Amino acid sequence: MSSIVIIDYGMGNLRSVQKAFEQVGCDAVVTADPGVAARADKLVLPGVGAFRDCMHNLEAGGFVAPIREHVAAGKPFLGICLGLQLLFTESEEFGRHQGLGIIPGRVVRFPEGLRDGGESLKVPHMGWNRIAIRRASPLYAGIPDGSFVYFVHSYYVVPEDPRVVATETGYGQSFCSSIWRDNVMATQFHPEKSQSVGLRMLKNFGEL
């Protein structure tokens, strides 16, 4: 079985991601060692918290080069939640901050005054919502269109190239809820918290 490495840069519920992989029969290692990440067959970047702090920790931990080299080598990569946002050029969270620049585009905040019909919507967007599959990423093999997944976020990604959008979700507006470009897959939602649907996604990734 090829090695799945989950990057530990001090931000994210890494054990829950590791346990979810184990639940579907995939061995996954959590590491704070960039050398281990550099040797991985498959790399997972989870994350919660502020974009700027996460980028600082990635840089301080020596993970930026291994991530870029892994992606450039064509090896499977999965970003989760903030791990999706960090792939982009820049974020507007608490100012303007540079990301990894792997996927051209920006990270923006949900606007104030979002409504669903007559109902006012809160930010952060938190809880279960549907994904509309726009491109059949390998992550979504066997996943029905319209499946429910679990979200917790106030910011979302706006890719420059709409062809990288794998799923969209509605929350007062339509937004990109996951991407797929070649070997890079990343979700705004949390597969590890999305019950059987999310576990199937992680199994699909593990079997790539």
Smallest CA-to-CA distance from 185 within 59, 74, 23, 107 is with 74
What 141-146 contacts at long range (C-beta under 8 Å, 24+ apart), as own/partner pairs, is: 141/204, 142/200, 142/204, 143/197, 143/200, 143/201
- Distance spanning both ends of the chain, measured CA to CA: 10
Considering the candidates 97, 125, 153, 190, report the single residue annotated as catalytic. Answer: 190
Length of the chain: 208
Q: Bridge-partner residues for 6, per DSSP?
A: 30, 44
Catalytic residue among 81, 97, 153, 176: 81
Active site residue 190: yes
* 168 catalytic residue (yes or no): no
Among this protein's residues, is 207 annotated catalytic?
no
Given the residues 26, 93, 153, 192, select the one marked as catalytic: 192
Q: Which residues are catalytic?
A: 81, 190, 192
